[in-house]
Amino acid sequence: MATTGTGVTRTDGVHARLREDILGGVLPPGQRLKFPELCRRYDTSVGAAREALTRLASAGLVRSQAHQGYVVTPLSVEDLTELTVARVEIECLVLRMAISEGDVRWEADAIAAHHLLERATYLDPDNPARSTGEWAAAHTSFHEALLAGGGNRRLREVANGLRDEAELYRQWSITPAQAKGRDVAAEHRAILDAVITRDADLAVRLLGEHISMTTRLLKDAAEA
């Protein structure tokens, strides 16, 4: 597999650009992803494009459909509702385990991840309806750090995988969140404070509300 001078494969580059275009709305939910068009758009081979799409499918951002190839994952209220229920149940379980089992190093890592998240630029100046790649990466790292204190690796992986699947919904919720005056930074701070004080019941409740808020905002926007 060809690599750049920094060891990054061509597939990595195509994957990063495709992911950015999907989350940025350049490739909207439901759009078919045809290999000839992808190869021209990203100046790549069919093999690299196929591997990138396989990785994106595992993260829930694209789907393989019989006789149609790949499409950007369509958004639906039913899918979002199901995903939200699963996330609340599993992420809250893993967070409770992390608070019970995590040590001081885990606390320090969570605080450090939050510090980076607080200082990341939230909205993309070129596309204010989407978050920046910097913020999105810091957001993922923060939530992963919160769960990292739990010793059950499989449960952590399931929780993180479900959050990856919800990323497309989160990006599309930014505009309705702004309209409703949602303070995402305050939500993150409150969750961290509850975690550091080892108040598991409060931390779990706040995380559940944090996850569910995206669902409520998108449902309200769909019904408007």
How far apart (Å, rounded) are the C-alpha atoms in residues 145 and 109?
6
Q: What is the pLDDT of residues 58-95, one digit of tens each?
A: 888 999 987 778 999 999 999 999 999 999 999 999 99
Q: What is the pTM of this model?
A: 0.85
Mean per-residue pLDDT for 37-47? 94
Tokens of 97: 């385990």
Question: pLDDT-derived band of residue 8, with 50, 70 and 90 as boundaries?
Answer: low
- Mean pLDDT lowest for which of 106-115, 136-145, 164-173? 164-173
The SS3 of residue 41 is: helix
**Chain segment 115-154, per-residue pLDDT in tens:** 999 999 999 998 898 999 899 999 999 999 999 999 999 9
CB within 8 Å of 89: residues ≥ 6 apart: none
Instruction: Give the C-alpha separation, 64 to 103, whole Å.
Output: 41
